Amino acid sequence: MSGVVVQEPVFPEPGRTPTSVRRPDGRLYRPRKLPLAMLLSDEDEFVTGVCVLRTHSEGTARELAVEELQRHDNAFPWELTNVRTEWGHWRPDGAEGRRAWERDETGLTGTPALFFDAVQR
């Protein structure tokens, strides 16, 4: 996911609570912050997907992703496809505010995240 532009994050509504996620080695990841949805775009600033950090709950992540897409462009219905759960870190990737997702294949460090591809219908 190199060179992905991360747009302004959306913070969930009050009343939502962080949920723990079990790492592959059995330890719990206990987020201190609420899940966070971010639009992903290509070099031309077209939305290509959504990343929801701090959760592996598909229901929670899908809800936040849809809300973020509607805030961005409510004129078109969006379809979320190709759901992927991952562990990793956002790292700086050069100039212009770009950051890249660095996967942690072991799941022993990093933040839990769900990625969705976003397609306009």
Q: What is the pLDDT of residues 60-115, one digit of tens each?
A: 999 999 999 998 887 678 899 999 999 999 888 766 777 889 999 999 999 999 99
Residue-wise pLDDT for 30-71, tens only, equals 998 889 999 998 888 889 999 999 999 999 999 999 999 998
Query: What pLDDT sits at residue 41?
Result: 87
On whether residue 120 sits in a domain, the answer given is no
Pairs from 107-110 (Cβ < 8 Å, separation ≥ 24): 107/23, 107/24, 107/25, 108/23, 108/24, 108/25
On whether residue 103 sits in a domain, the answer given is yes
On whether residue 121 sits in a domain, the answer given is no
Count: domains in the chain: 1
Q: Are 54 and 34 in contact (CB under 8 A)?
A: yes
On whether residue 97 sits in a domain, the answer given is yes
Q: 120: pLDDT confidence band, cut at 50, 70 and 90?
A: confident
On whether residue 25 sits in a domain, the answer given is yes
